[in-house]
Structure 1
Amino acid sequence: MFAIASDDVDEVQRVLGNGEVDPNDVVGPQSALAFALTNERLVHRMDIIKTLLAYGADPSGLSDPELNPPNRSSISDRHSMILSPPVTTVLQSMDPATRYYMKRADATNTKKASTIIQKSFFRPLARVRYDIVGQDRVFEQLFMVLNRHSRGFAVAPLVVLLCGPSGHGKSLLARKFGSLLRVPTHTVNVTTLQSTHDLWQAYSMSPYEEPTSLTLAQFLMENEGKRCVVVLDEIEKTEDPKVLYSLLMPWELGRCSPPGGGRHIDVRNVVWLGTSNVGHELVFDYQMTLPPQATLSREQYTELMGLVRPRLSERLGASLVSRVTAVLPFLPFTDDEKMAIAAEAFYSLGGETVASLPVDVVESSVRTALPQYLPAEGARSLHRAISGLLLEMSEFPQ
């Protein structure tokens, strides 16, 4: 409770991550989730709530009067009272982003998918659902692949290609992989590669990772035999796919021999992640065959996976893609997901200026941004629209 009251997201994450407390522990008159929802002084309430949910806070506890003491409001008979939960803990009274994450945490499908990797090394990845909006089918399929790999059912290294439209969470998921698992990550910007030599001599290009002077070959040698992550960003954007052919052996046998390396390196425990826009038209075309706002079934998503893989084979070569464990297409956002993205951007970009605005004002404001959503640009178009909205609000305050 002290960490929440301090309005410090990092501190909340630290005490939960270290196992000092459980988010569902009863400490005082309220649950941690109820306390965060009802504390009007929190500027970073959204991020704190997401952190609590990511570490397992149970929204169903909000209906328990002992964990979420009700307000008492008078009716006509002053001696009679109605018991009701605090208004900010009622789903219908939450802003679109908080409501979205609360419903996601309480959904049966979310809980089922998370249990798939509960007993594996990859368990912390279940928390990524509170960093990325949408993509439930992606997570479901990813967790099944990780479960098979961790149980020894796979005979080849883990290689996953995240593909589809821009701005739908591919790079964010790849970036979160290493940080959630607390393992080293090396990100290669494939657009800069001209030769096989460039691949193995590539430095990590991600501003979100610890600065390093290691090349990819040196990174793999330093982490030989250990669990680590290599991200190949924009994997299809190389002029010559042959640049990537030196990945054939590591992706199939878990061993690599970089030019000039002198020996084979054991890379069986490396998680290889590639991001690509290949197949984005196919994703949109497939979505158009469904009723508006329909959610893909598992069978439909599996069919879409099968349709996208040949497109990647055409671009990268069948010999390389045949060694890929899973091709996971990212899907367009539903209206609820767009509202959640827009509301979260509204609080994040607006900061203290908008933190105390009534929920109905927030909802009506972010709804005006939805017409500016561009499917081909995804969340970036909504962030741009919200940025313009906040600028307009500052120049022409109500």
Structure 2
Amino acid sequence: MSPGLASNSQFSTRSVIVALREGVPHDQLEDYFGHHSRASSNIIRLQINDPVDGFPPIFYATARNDDRIIHLFARHGADVNSSFGHPPIPLLAFAVLHAKTIAAETTLCVATLLSLGAEAAAFPRAFFSPFQRDLPETGPEEDELDDMDDPRRAWCRGLDLRGRIAETLNLTQRYHLDKSARLAKPTDRQRQIAQRNHCEALFGVPYFMIGQMAATDMLKDNFLHYMLRRQFQPMVMVFAGPSGHGKTELARRLGALLNLELHVSDCTIVARENELFGPRKPYIGAEEGTPLNNFLARKNGQRCIVFLDEFEKTTQEVWNALLIPFDKGEYQDRRTLKTVNCSKTIWIMATNALDEDIMQFCEKNEGVFDQDDPFKRELLLDDLTEAMKDKFKELFKPPLTGRISAFIPFLPFSPPETYVGAHKYLLELMGEVRRPVNTSFGEEEQLLGDINLKVRQDASVCSILSQGYDPELGIRSLKKVVREKVATQLDSVYMATQGTIVEGQGMQDYEVYAYNNRIKIKPV
């Protein structure tokens, strides 16, 4: 631990800032904050927003470009709507601009700040709505900036700063800003219920998903209802929709944001009860248990998530075995025959068995995608979930269906959402090729590296890439397209450059751009 962060010393925001500048790891900061918050619950909150050398402390946290550190500061009372300077620049704008300073992606930090309550209204709307267009190099035209009277946007009146924002504000960031401006803010009562159950991060789930607004809304509403009623039965949900549209991702994000341990069971290999839970004593193998049996026993009485993937591959025997855990919140450990309390377990059954019904419904009812008509959209979603319930009952029988708390539909991506899906894999590629060149033989070898891959007119580029979207394959189809149309071409351009590949050669700039409905790459 950094000397300035010794746990036996008095809490000091300045010491934390010094440690941040020195690169102290996240876990040491977590230990330091945890020690002092246990000693006195208010000591950190009283100081966490006091400026250090003129800057609010959370600016230093954001400068580290580590979403975990931002979460840590916010959890202890740091204001994610802080600003500094004259006119004051909001933290959200700083996070966007900081990408150019450190020559690295800050998109995850921008999403994290929005998920924690940073206001998209700090930006003029023309910067992000519609998100699926290319921003002019100097920023939006003057006649589009009709909301500049708001003092929160005074920082953005200078033409130079607008150009810098337009240069760094990427497609995914614009998407999250647009989403934030559209999302209904939690009511005081919703926040109160979530806080009492340590689930405040529930409201941030949409910022880590592409599309699936219906799914994240339903998940939030069902969670809040469950916590309000203080139910002592497990929460049992069905995630249904075509492969590659976020079922597993939503479960993982939910677990990560709520700090809940997640267990995934692959149901493609489960046809009998003992394949899921294991044989009972005295049968052979009972003393070992299965991964699911041992997970439930270890999480006895604790909140956790069990994700049953490809549930349609199971059998009636497995469905019957789940009735008591789903209904009574009890489970018998196969190793010890002791009763395990699983009343706080969140069960998620993911299935593709309803894909055709969901796809056909969406084709006939395009209003289910309409964010601008929430009343019509809600009625259509009600119709869809009722149809899903009927189909599930037909396939999996009434006893199991009667124990389901919620049916959550995952819809095909809209055309603008496919742009964001393509951009997701562009960002991944940019991170891969930014790593330093390593000419060592073996696993550490990295001959393609030290590349700063820039995407000019990212909406046009992603529009071309999104043409490869396959609703049956989901977002994975876009990963394949990015590899074929961008990564392979980058390899060719890189290898066509004269000179041997050496370590420490410095960063080289390459530009991705759209030309005649094709993707092009060139060194710059």
TM-score w.r.t. the length of structure 1 is 0.84
In structure 1, what residue type is equivalent to 2:305? Answer: V
How far apart, CA to CA, are the structure 2 residues paired with 1:364 and 1:60? 25
- 1:44 equivalenced with 2:105 (yes/no): yes
Superposed counterparts of 1:97-136, under 5 Å: 97-107=172-182, 109-112=183-186, 116=190, 119-120=193-194, 121=197, 122-136=199-213
Give how far 1:388 is off: 1.7
In structure 2, the partner of 1:357 is: 455
* 1:125-167 deviation line (CA, Å, top 9, x unaligned): 2221111111112222222211111012646321011011111
> After alignment, is 367-376 or 150-159 more displaced?
150-159
Aligned residue for 2:313, secondary structure, equals coil
Going from structure 1 to structure 2, the CA distance change for 1:272 and 1:293 (only over 3 Å counts) comes to closer
Give how far 1:65 is off: 5.1
In structure 1, the partner of 2:447 is: none
Unaligned runs of 5+ in 1: 74-83, 203-212
In structure 2, the partner of 1:335 is: 415
In structure 2, what residue type is equivalent to 1:37? Answer: V
In structure 2, what residue type is equivalent to 1:49? Answer: V
Superposed counterparts of 1:222-371, under 5 Å: 222-238=298-314, 240-259=315-334, 261-291=336-366, 294-295=369-370, 297-351=377-431, 352=434, 353=451, 356-358=454-456, 360=457, 362-371=458-467
Give how far 1:175 is off: 1.5
In structure 1, the partner of 2:83 is: 26
Superposition RMSD in Å? 2.8
Going from structure 1 to structure 2, the CA distance change for 1:187 and 1:134 (only over 3 Å counts) comes to same
How far apart, CA to CA, are the structure 2 residues paired with 1:132 and 1:391? 24
Superposed counterparts of 1:154-193, under 5 Å: 154=231, 156-193=233-270
* 1:301-359 deviation line (CA, Å, top 9, x unaligned): 1111111122222333321121111111111111111111212221222234465433x
How far apart, CA to CA, are the structure 1 residues paired with 2:420 and 2:427? 11
Going from structure 1 to structure 2, the CA distance change for 1:114 and 1:160 (only over 3 Å counts) comes to farther
Aligned residue for 2:408, secondary structure, equals strand
In structure 1, the partner of 2:145 is: none
How far apart, CA to CA, are the structure 2 residues paired with 1:179 and 1:134? 19
In structure 2, the partner of 1:372 is: 468
Aligned residue for 1:97, secondary structure, equals helix
How far apart, CA to CA, are the structure 2 residues paired with 1:389 and 1:113? 45
- 1:8 equivalenced with 2:66 (yes/no): yes
Contact persistence 2:418–2:466 (CA under 8 A): yes
How far apart, CA to CA, are the structure 2 residues paired with 1:98 and 1:115? 29
Of residues 76, 99, 114 in structure 2, which corresponds to 1:53?
114
How far apart, CA to CA, are the structure 2 residues paired with 1:215 and 1:55? 34
How far apart, CA to CA, are the structure 2 residues paired with 1:350 and 1:9? 18
Contact persistence 2:96–2:110 (CA under 8 A): yes
Aligned residue for 1:333, secondary structure, equals coil
Going from structure 1 to structure 2, the CA distance change for 1:249 and 1:280 (only over 3 Å counts) comes to same
Going from structure 1 to structure 2, the CA distance change for 1:337 and 1:11 (only over 3 Å counts) comes to same
> After alignment, is 343-352 or 257-266 more displaced?
257-266
In structure 2, what residue type is equivalent to 1:24? Answer: N
* 1:42-73 deviation line (CA, Å, top 9, x unaligned): 41221121111111111112355566623545
How far apart, CA to CA, are the structure 2 residues paired with 1:214 and 1:27? 55
* 1:216-262 deviation line (CA, Å, top 9, x unaligned): 22322222222111111111122x23123211011111112244542
Going from structure 1 to structure 2, the CA distance change for 1:264 and 1:9 (only over 3 Å counts) comes to closer
Unaligned runs of 5+ in 2: 1-58, 125-149, 280-288, 371-375, 435-450, 494-520
Aligned residue for 2:472, secondary structure, equals coil
Going from structure 1 to structure 2, the CA distance change for 1:334 and 1:115 (only over 3 Å counts) comes to farther
| Identity level (%) | 24
How far apart, CA to CA, are the structure 2 residues paired with 1:355 and 1:55? 29
Contact persistence 2:242–2:474 (CA under 8 A): yes
Aligned residues: 372
How far apart, CA to CA, are the structure 1 residues paired with 2:191 and 2:63? 32
Going from structure 1 to structure 2, the CA distance change for 1:372 and 1:325 (only over 3 Å counts) comes to same
Give how far 1:263 is off: 2.9
TM-score w.r.t. the length of structure 2 is 0.65
Aligned residue for 1:328, secondary structure, equals strand
How far apart, CA to CA, are the structure 2 residues paired with 1:259 and 1:6? 47
Aligned residue for 1:274, secondary structure, equals strand
